[in-house]
Amino acid sequence: MFQGDFAAYGAGRDTLAGPPRLKMIIPGVAGLAAASFIADNHLIGFFRSNQTGFLDSASDFTDMGGEKRIVVPALLLTYGSARFLFRDEKLHTASLNAIQSVIVTAIATEGTKIVTGRARPFTGEGAYAFQPFPGGVDRFKSLPSGHASLAFALFTPFAETYSRWIYIVPASVAAGRVYQDKHWVSDVLLGGGFGLVSGILFTHHPKVQIIPSGIRVYF
Protein backbone atom coordinates (compact mmCIF):
# COMPACT_ATOMS: atom_id res chain seq x y z
CA MET A 1 0.00 0.00 0.00
CA PHE A 2 1.22 3.47 -0.82
CA GLN A 3 0.91 5.67 2.20
CA GLY A 4 0.19 9.33 1.77
CA ASP A 5 0.63 10.43 5.36
CA PHE A 6 3.82 12.22 6.19
CA ALA A 7 5.59 11.54 9.43
CA ALA A 8 8.62 13.19 10.96
CA TYR A 9 11.69 11.03 10.61
CA GLY A 10 15.02 12.30 11.86
CA ALA A 11 15.85 15.87 12.76
CA GLY A 12 13.77 18.24 10.72
CA ARG A 13 12.98 15.68 7.98
CA ASP A 14 9.52 14.90 6.65
CA THR A 15 9.23 11.52 4.96
CA LEU A 16 6.52 9.04 4.16
CA ALA A 17 5.30 6.94 7.04
CA GLY A 18 6.94 3.53 7.27
CA PRO A 19 10.50 3.95 5.96
CA PRO A 20 11.73 0.90 3.98
CA ARG A 21 13.97 -1.56 5.78
CA LEU A 22 17.28 -2.05 4.04
CA LYS A 23 17.85 -5.43 5.66
CA MET A 24 14.86 -6.67 3.68
CA ILE A 25 15.44 -4.70 0.47
CA ILE A 26 19.09 -5.64 -0.08
CA PRO A 27 18.64 -9.45 -0.05
CA GLY A 28 15.41 -9.05 -2.01
CA VAL A 29 17.11 -7.11 -4.80
CA ALA A 30 20.08 -9.47 -4.78
CA GLY A 31 17.78 -12.47 -5.03
CA LEU A 32 15.79 -11.02 -7.93
CA ALA A 33 18.95 -10.06 -9.81
CA ALA A 34 20.42 -13.55 -9.33
CA ALA A 35 17.22 -15.25 -10.46
CA SER A 36 16.92 -13.04 -13.54
CA PHE A 37 20.59 -13.63 -14.38
CA ILE A 38 19.80 -17.31 -14.85
CA ALA A 39 16.85 -16.50 -17.12
CA ASP A 40 18.29 -13.47 -18.94
CA ASN A 41 18.38 -15.09 -22.38
CA HIS A 42 14.71 -16.05 -22.13
CA LEU A 43 13.65 -12.71 -20.66
CA ILE A 44 15.30 -10.67 -23.40
CA GLY A 45 13.49 -12.80 -25.94
CA PHE A 46 10.16 -11.64 -24.53
CA PHE A 47 11.06 -7.99 -25.03
CA ARG A 48 12.41 -8.61 -28.53
CA SER A 49 9.20 -10.34 -29.58
CA ASN A 50 7.00 -7.47 -28.39
CA GLN A 51 8.42 -4.52 -30.29
CA THR A 52 5.97 -1.86 -31.48
CA GLY A 53 6.25 1.65 -32.83
CA PHE A 54 4.52 3.07 -29.78
CA LEU A 55 6.86 1.29 -27.36
CA ASP A 56 9.85 2.41 -29.43
CA SER A 57 8.83 6.02 -28.92
CA ALA A 58 7.93 5.45 -25.27
CA SER A 59 11.32 3.91 -24.49
CA ASP A 60 13.11 6.81 -26.19
CA PHE A 61 11.15 9.17 -23.95
CA THR A 62 11.68 7.25 -20.69
CA ASP A 63 15.38 6.96 -21.50
CA MET A 64 15.74 10.66 -20.67
CA GLY A 65 14.95 9.87 -17.02
CA GLY A 66 18.30 8.13 -16.73
CA GLU A 67 20.36 10.31 -19.06
CA LYS A 68 23.02 12.01 -16.97
CA ARG A 69 23.34 14.98 -19.32
CA ILE A 70 19.71 15.79 -18.62
CA VAL A 71 18.87 14.73 -15.08
CA VAL A 72 22.08 15.77 -13.32
CA PRO A 73 21.85 19.44 -14.39
CA ALA A 74 18.13 19.35 -13.56
CA LEU A 75 18.94 17.99 -10.10
CA LEU A 76 21.53 20.68 -9.43
CA LEU A 77 19.10 23.34 -10.60
CA THR A 78 16.43 21.94 -8.29
CA TYR A 79 18.83 21.97 -5.35
CA GLY A 80 19.95 25.53 -6.02
CA SER A 81 16.39 26.79 -6.49
CA ALA A 82 15.15 25.08 -3.35
CA ARG A 83 17.97 26.41 -1.22
CA PHE A 84 18.51 29.92 -2.49
CA LEU A 85 15.37 30.91 -4.36
CA PHE A 86 12.34 29.23 -2.78
CA ARG A 87 13.85 28.50 0.65
CA ASP A 88 12.01 25.16 0.60
CA GLU A 89 13.64 23.03 3.29
CA LYS A 90 11.91 19.79 2.32
CA LEU A 91 12.85 20.11 -1.36
CA HIS A 92 16.34 21.25 -0.43
CA THR A 93 16.87 18.17 1.77
CA ALA A 94 15.45 15.77 -0.81
CA SER A 95 17.66 17.30 -3.50
CA LEU A 96 20.76 17.08 -1.31
CA ASN A 97 20.00 13.44 -0.53
CA ALA A 98 19.58 12.78 -4.25
CA ILE A 99 22.93 14.40 -5.04
CA GLN A 100 24.69 12.24 -2.46
CA SER A 101 22.87 9.15 -3.68
CA VAL A 102 23.85 9.83 -7.29
CA ILE A 103 27.52 10.26 -6.39
CA VAL A 104 27.76 7.02 -4.43
CA THR A 105 25.72 5.07 -6.96
CA ALA A 106 27.77 6.35 -9.90
CA ILE A 107 31.00 5.15 -8.27
CA ALA A 108 29.54 1.72 -7.48
CA THR A 109 28.01 1.37 -10.94
CA GLU A 110 31.08 2.35 -12.91
CA GLY A 111 33.34 0.18 -10.77
CA THR A 112 31.12 -2.85 -11.29
CA LYS A 113 30.92 -2.22 -15.04
CA ILE A 114 34.70 -2.18 -15.30
CA VAL A 115 35.25 -5.29 -13.20
CA THR A 116 32.57 -7.43 -14.85
CA GLY A 117 32.83 -6.33 -18.48
CA ARG A 118 29.54 -7.94 -19.47
CA ALA A 119 28.47 -7.91 -23.12
CA ARG A 120 25.34 -5.95 -23.98
CA PRO A 121 22.42 -7.89 -25.50
CA PHE A 122 22.66 -6.26 -28.92
CA THR A 123 26.18 -7.65 -29.43
CA GLY A 124 24.71 -11.13 -29.92
CA GLU A 125 27.31 -12.69 -27.63
CA GLY A 126 24.75 -13.99 -25.15
CA ALA A 127 24.00 -13.25 -21.51
CA TYR A 128 27.12 -14.91 -20.15
CA ALA A 129 29.86 -13.27 -22.21
CA PHE A 130 32.26 -11.26 -20.05
CA GLN A 131 35.39 -9.29 -20.81
CA PRO A 132 36.63 -7.82 -17.51
CA PHE A 133 38.32 -4.42 -17.64
CA PRO A 134 37.12 -3.56 -21.17
CA GLY A 135 38.55 -0.05 -21.11
CA GLY A 136 36.57 2.23 -23.37
CA VAL A 137 34.69 -0.58 -25.11
CA ASP A 138 31.10 0.35 -24.26
CA ARG A 139 29.52 -2.84 -25.64
CA PHE A 140 31.13 -4.71 -22.74
CA LYS A 141 29.76 -2.42 -20.04
CA SER A 142 26.29 -3.87 -19.59
CA LEU A 143 26.34 -4.83 -15.91
CA PRO A 144 24.84 -2.93 -14.17
CA SER A 145 22.66 -0.48 -16.07
CA GLY A 146 23.90 3.06 -15.57
CA HIS A 147 20.57 4.56 -16.64
CA ALA A 148 18.63 2.44 -14.15
CA SER A 149 21.05 3.09 -11.30
CA LEU A 150 21.09 6.84 -11.93
CA ALA A 151 17.31 7.04 -12.23
CA PHE A 152 16.69 5.18 -8.97
CA ALA A 153 19.46 7.05 -7.16
CA LEU A 154 18.00 10.38 -8.20
CA PHE A 155 14.28 9.73 -7.84
CA THR A 156 14.28 7.57 -4.69
CA PRO A 157 14.84 10.48 -2.25
CA PHE A 158 11.93 12.35 -3.87
CA ALA A 159 9.73 9.26 -3.88
CA GLU A 160 10.46 8.65 -0.20
CA THR A 161 9.88 12.31 0.67
CA TYR A 162 6.80 13.09 -1.41
CA SER A 163 5.06 10.08 -2.99
CA ARG A 164 6.11 6.55 -3.84
CA TRP A 165 4.20 6.84 -7.10
CA ILE A 166 7.34 8.63 -8.29
CA TYR A 167 8.99 5.21 -8.50
CA ILE A 168 7.11 4.77 -11.78
CA VAL A 169 9.69 7.04 -13.40
CA PRO A 170 12.87 5.02 -12.66
CA ALA A 171 10.98 1.75 -13.18
CA SER A 172 10.01 2.87 -16.69
CA VAL A 173 13.62 3.85 -17.38
CA ALA A 174 14.79 0.37 -16.39
CA ALA A 175 12.16 -1.37 -18.51
CA GLY A 176 13.03 0.82 -21.48
CA ARG A 177 16.70 -0.10 -21.35
CA VAL A 178 15.84 -3.79 -21.63
CA TYR A 179 13.30 -3.09 -24.38
CA GLN A 180 15.96 -1.22 -26.38
CA ASP A 181 18.22 -4.31 -26.22
CA LYS A 182 20.89 -2.33 -24.38
CA HIS A 183 20.68 -4.23 -21.09
CA TRP A 184 19.70 -7.58 -19.66
CA VAL A 185 16.99 -7.75 -17.01
CA SER A 186 19.58 -8.57 -14.33
CA ASP A 187 21.53 -5.45 -15.36
CA VAL A 188 18.64 -3.12 -14.61
CA LEU A 189 17.68 -4.94 -11.42
CA LEU A 190 21.19 -4.66 -10.03
CA GLY A 191 21.63 -1.07 -11.20
CA GLY A 192 18.23 -0.10 -9.86
CA GLY A 193 19.09 -1.83 -6.61
CA PHE A 194 22.27 0.24 -6.25
CA GLY A 195 20.31 3.46 -6.68
CA LEU A 196 17.39 2.37 -4.53
CA VAL A 197 19.54 1.34 -1.58
CA SER A 198 21.67 4.48 -1.81
CA GLY A 199 18.65 6.74 -2.04
CA ILE A 200 16.95 5.11 0.93
CA LEU A 201 20.15 5.21 2.95
CA PHE A 202 20.62 8.96 2.62
CA THR A 203 16.92 9.73 3.02
CA HIS A 204 16.19 7.67 6.11
CA HIS A 205 19.61 7.60 7.79
CA PRO A 206 20.56 11.28 8.20
CA LYS A 207 23.59 10.42 10.32
CA VAL A 208 25.30 9.15 7.17
CA GLN A 209 26.21 12.05 4.90
CA ILE A 210 28.87 12.89 2.33
CA ILE A 211 30.72 16.13 3.01
CA PRO A 212 33.64 17.78 1.17
CA SER A 213 36.20 16.17 3.46
CA GLY A 214 34.83 12.67 2.90
CA ILE A 215 32.21 10.46 4.50
CA ARG A 216 31.50 11.20 8.12
CA VAL A 217 29.15 9.30 10.41
CA TYR A 218 27.85 11.27 13.40
CA PHE A 219 27.05 9.50 16.66
Please state the rounded mean pLDDT for residues 128-138. Answer: 95
Q: Does position 12 have pLDDT exceeding 60, yes or no?
A: no
Q: State the pLDDT confidence band at 19, using cuts at 50, 70 and 90.
A: confident
Q: Which residues contact 47 (CB under 8 A, 6 or more apart)?
A: 178, 179, 181
Closest CA to 113 of 145, 89, 160: 145
- Give the type of residue at 112: T
Domain borders along the chain are: 18-205
CA–CA gap between residue 123 and residue 23 (Å, rounded): 36
Tens digits of per-residue pLDDT, 101-128? 999 999 999 999 999 999 999 999 999 9
The residue that leads in pLDDT, 217 or 28, is 28
Q: Does position 8 have pLDDT exceeding 70, yes or no?
A: no
Q: Does position 155 have pLDDT exceeding 60, yes or no?
A: yes
Q: What pLDDT score was predicted for residue 209?
A: 84
Q: Does position 99 have pLDDT exceeding 90, yes or no?
A: yes
Please state the rounded mean pLDDT for residues 146-151. Answer: 98
Tell me which of 39-43, 50-54, 164-168, 207-211 is least confident.
207-211
Q: Does position 13 have pLDDT exceeding 90, yes or no?
A: no
Q: What pLDDT score was predicted for residue 16?
A: 64
Q: Which residues of 202-217 are buried (b: 16+ CB within 10 A; e: fewer)?
A: bbbeeeeeeeeeeeee
Tens digits of per-residue pLDDT, 156-196? 999 999 999 999 999 999 999 999 999 999 999 999 999 99
6-8 and 214-217 beta bridge pairing = unpaired
Which CATH architecture is the domain 18-205 placed in?
A: Up-down Bundle (1.20)
The residue that leads in pLDDT, 1 or 65, is 65
Counting residues of the chain whose pLDDT is more than 70, the rounded percentage is 88
Q: State the pLDDT confidence band at 58, using cuts at 50, 70 and 90.
A: very high
CA angle 213, 192, 94 (to 5 degrees): 50
Q: Cα separations (Å) of 182 from 6, 47, 148, 173, 176?
A: 38, 11, 12, 12, 9
pTM of the model: 0.88
Q: Which residues contact 50 (CB under 8 A, 6 or more apart)?
A: none
